């Protein structure tokens, strides 16, 4: 059985059951050094689950938020983005906003750091997406997108090889989260994901992640339901592989009801996988 890893300074010591008994020493893996761009609810959750990585530097447009989280995480709050970018880190986790991806994304890649994008709806902009792609190619770095608030992205990536004929997302949210005031279940939008992004940019990260994984447009239905206290995502996909249906009912994060726990945990899983020698999933 693999025992829980323990942190010792800047390396992670991983006792391997059985190996030590036959003379193998503890395996020591350097901790992944993270720069955290955005110190809100997701940033706090990442900091409280740091295992296999360490938050070295932090930056937020509100300096007090960066300083507060720096005290919790043991990192350094940077007074400017340039100071943040000059730090010795392996990758930057964007946990701020679509604007943060637009303003800082290319600079992160051109500085030789990988970029993890939480505000996935930024990549619905084809011009920005191509700019980031070219910057990543020229610098030899990666743009990484966590699974976010849904399940099944691995299967979509597999399914696209044989071809996906239909991909539909039905999302139901409380009217308050959409800025609406309705008394009954109401269809707010129906159409391609690209149009939905323009109208509800803070509520369609899921559709953009699905489109990136599947390599095709997503047909979206967005519903407002005053009787629903969770974000519900129903995904229907058909292709050469057959048919799949997934329903996810997300609990919101206590720190920020607009963020699902699953979305926040997905970036933590991604960061831990980067340090693992054996990785499960496509």
Residue 183: CA atoms inside 13 Å, Cβ hemisphere, count? 0
Task: Output the pLDDT for position 9.
Answer: 46
Task: Output the pLDDT for position 5.
Answer: 38
- Clarify whether 49 is annotated catalytic: no
Task: Output the pLDDT for position 258.
Answer: 64
Residue 201 is given by DSSP the state T
Task: Output the pLDDT for position 82.
Answer: 97
Residue 195: CA atoms inside 13 Å, Cβ hemisphere, count? 9
Task: Kindly report, residue by residue over 121-139, the tens digit of the pLDDT.
Answer: 899 999 999 999 999 999 9
Task: Output the pLDDT for position 24.
Answer: 63
Residues of the chain with pLDDT under 50: 1-9, 13-20
Strands (E), 38-153: 53-59, 76-77, 91-94, 114-117, 143-144
Task: Output the pLDDT for position 31.
Answer: 87
| pTM for this predicted structure | 0.85
Task: Output the pLDDT for position 140.
Answer: 97
Asked if residues 195 and 146 have their Cβ atoms less than 8 Å apart, the reply is no
Task: Output the pLDDT for position 6.
Answer: 38
Q: Report the 10 Å Cβ neighbour count for 132.
A: 23
Catalytic residue among 44, 49, 104, 233: 233
Cα–Cα distance measured from residue 143 to residue 128, given in angstroms and rounded to the nearest whole number? 12
Q: Delineate the domains of the chain, giving CATH numbers in brackets.
A: 31-148+262-274 (3.40.50.720), 153-255 (3.30.360.10)
């Amino acid at each position: 059985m693999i025992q829980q890893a323990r942190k010792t300074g800047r390396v992670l010591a991983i006792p391997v059951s059985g190996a030590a008994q036959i003379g193998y020493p503890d395996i020591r893996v350097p901790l992944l050094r993270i720069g955290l761009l955005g110190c809100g609810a997701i940033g706090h959750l990442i900091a409280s689950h740091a295992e296999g990585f360490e938050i070295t530097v932090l930056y937020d447009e509100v300096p007090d938020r960066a300083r507060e989280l720096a005290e919790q995480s043991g990192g350094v709050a940077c007074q400017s983005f340039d100071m943040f970018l000059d730090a010795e880190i392996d990758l930057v986790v964007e946990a701020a906003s679509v604007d943060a991806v637009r303003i800082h994304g290319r600079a992160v890649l051109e500085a030789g750091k990988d970029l993890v994008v939480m505000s996935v709806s930024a990549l619905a902009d084809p011009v920005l997406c191509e700019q980031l792609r070219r910057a990543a190619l020229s610098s030899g770095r990666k743009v990484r997108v966590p699974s976010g608030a849904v399940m099944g992205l691995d299967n979509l990536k597999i399914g696209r090889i044989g071809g996906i004929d239909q991909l539909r997302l039905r999302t139901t949210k409380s009217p308050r989260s959409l800025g609406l005031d309705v008394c009954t279940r109401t269809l707010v939008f129906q159409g391609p994901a690209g149009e939905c992004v323009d109208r509800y940019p803070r509520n369609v990260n899921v559709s953009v992640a699905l489109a990136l994984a599947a390599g095709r447009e997503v047909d979206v239905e967005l519903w407002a339901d005053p009787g629903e206290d969770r974000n519900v995502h129903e995904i229907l996909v058909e292709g050469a592989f057959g048919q799949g249906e997934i329903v996810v009912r997300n609990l919101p994060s206590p720190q920020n009801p607009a963020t699902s726990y699953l979305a926040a945990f997905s970036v933590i899983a991604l960061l831990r996988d980067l340090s693992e020698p054996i990785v499960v999933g496509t």
